[in-house]
Amino acid sequence: MSSCMLSDTACDVSGAAEVMHDIGQLLYLIYNENISSNQVKSMARLVHDTTDRWYSILNYRLDALNKPLEQTGFGKGRGLRL
């Protein structure tokens, strides 16, 4: 696996972690009732679109990582398939 592919994968994982952190902060605001009902609906749409996109990105990366893993004793990582 090339260094470039590893770097791209690390960037994607970092991006996904940042999005998860942001979603956690949003849920905290909702829990504490710090945002209005309309804001919750708008943010829910954005969160859905964002998580759907990151799901696709990370599964693409997992497929790319599985190719070299299948040739080793580690085997294949599992991804979610919806």
**Is residue 37 situated within a structural domain?**
yes
Residue 35 maps to a domain: yes
Asked if the structure places residue 38 within a domain, the reply is yes
Spell out the SS3 assignment of 33-82: CCCCHHHHHHHHHHHHHHHHHHHHHHHHHHHHHHHHHHCCCCCCCCCCCC
Residue 47 is assigned to a structural domain of this protein:
yes
Q: Which domain holds residue 46?
A: 10-66
19-28 confidence digits (pLDDT tens): 999 999 999 9
Q: Give the total number of structural domains in the chain.
A: 1
28-62 residue pLDDT tens: 999 999 999 999 999 999 999 999 999 999 999 98
| Two structure tokens written together for 35 | 């945002």
Contact 65, 12 (CB under 8 A): no
Quote the pTM value. Answer: 0.73
Contact by Cβ (8 Å): 57, 12:
yes
